[in-house]
Structure 1
Amino acid sequence: MEEDCATPKRRECRIPEANMCPPPPRKKAVGETKREPPKNGYFQPPDLDTLFALPPRTQVCA
Structure 2
Amino acid sequence: MAEKNPTLSLAEVARSSNISYPAVYRLFTNDFKRVDTETIEKLCDYFRCDLADLFELREVIDVSS
* Coarse TM-score class (shorter-chain normalised): under 0.3
TM-score, length-scaled by structure 1: 0.19
TM-score between both structures, scaled by the size of structure 2? 0.18
Specify which structure has the bigger relative contact order, considering alpha-carbon pairs within 8 angstroms and separated by 6 or more residues.
Answer: 2
